[in-house]
Chain A
């Protein structure tokens, strides 16, 4: 039985879809059987971020409505032999699916795949409830901004209320230069406020934009910082202890992580 992980945030545009694509591709690169589920019905995006938009025949709503078999709707990524995508419907809206149907779908997928990663829409309404319905684990994405952290806090409360305890935090789009001059909240600040476990920090990186242009997730790019950050998160998802990149020279951050993960302080 595989794991169903929902990638969520509350606020839109913080990097849920980017994170879903990179984690999925990264897990597949490590030989795991992975299926990505785009739960953002009506605003599908994961297909273009993955570069699979031209191969869609059926979608999630077709599966739920019984217009096709699950297997027919899954798009196999030709670049990575163990990676699949279940695209969202574009012409329907969130009410086309209900949480029970999502739960059943995720369960079916988890029987065949090691990881089912669900890309959650923004918001806390029906689409959110659908996306988390089948999940056993949650990754919360935020950026170092007041509005994003506030929404993340709300989401964490809602996840816990739905029985998804211990969500893990991805801090995305961190700008080390801004943190250093005190114009961006640092990692400590955000963990302090949200009080959940950190699973990774992704720097703000042009490589994300370029890779999205190409439809090839940055995790495959050895030269990219964000790619490295995602490769590390992938290994942590798999349960490995991976030291955090020394993104900040801020000693508070490094020593806290050293404590959290039992590593020596990086000098």
Chain B
């Protein structure tokens, strides 16, 4: 028997509310400052460009949420879709 589970409270509705709020606010807050994603985008391009040539116009980046494998709980996720044109020599082994 899981002793820890026995003594911890079941998921009550306020915990669900808090979890949902936290996730929704990650989006809201990012939208309040539209520069935020642009900044990240710029940094990612910088880092990756050393290793590969990418299609900057096709680069997509968004804040979303996903299920975590370990416990199946929903967590925020930063998803980037980066089309690669070709690898640079420095990136080849």
Task: Give A149's nearest chain B residue, CB to CB.
Answer: B21
Q: Residues of A contacting B20 with CB < 8 Å?
A: 146
Q: Residues of B contacting A181 with CB < 8 Å?
A: 12
Q: CB within 8 A of B18: which of A154, A158, A179, A193?
A: A193
Within 8 A of A (CB), among B12-26: 12-15, 17-18, 20-22, 24-25
Tell me whether B25 and A185 are in contact (CB under 8 A).
no
Q: Residues of A contacting B29 with CB < 8 Å?
A: 153, 157
Complex Cα gap A183–B24 (Å): 19
How many residues on B have C-beta within 8 angstroms of the other chain's C-beta atoms?
15
Tell me whether A185 and B18 are in contact (CB under 8 A).
yes
Q: CB within 8 A of B14: which of A158, A161, A182?
A: A182
Q: What are the nearest 8 A-B pairs in CB distance?
A: A182-B12, A157-B32, A185-B14, A183-B13, A146-B17, A189-B18, A182-B14, A146-B21
Q: List 19 A-B contacts (CB under 8 A).
A: A146-B17, A149-B21, A150-B24, A150-B25, A150-B28, A153-B25, A153-B29, A161-B32, A179-B14, A181-B12, A182-B9, A182-B12, A183-B13, A184-B14, A185-B14, A185-B18, A189-B18, A193-B18, A193-B25
Enumerate chain A interface residues (CB-CB to B < 8 A): 145-146, 149-150, 153-154, 157-158, 161, 179, 181-186, 189, 193
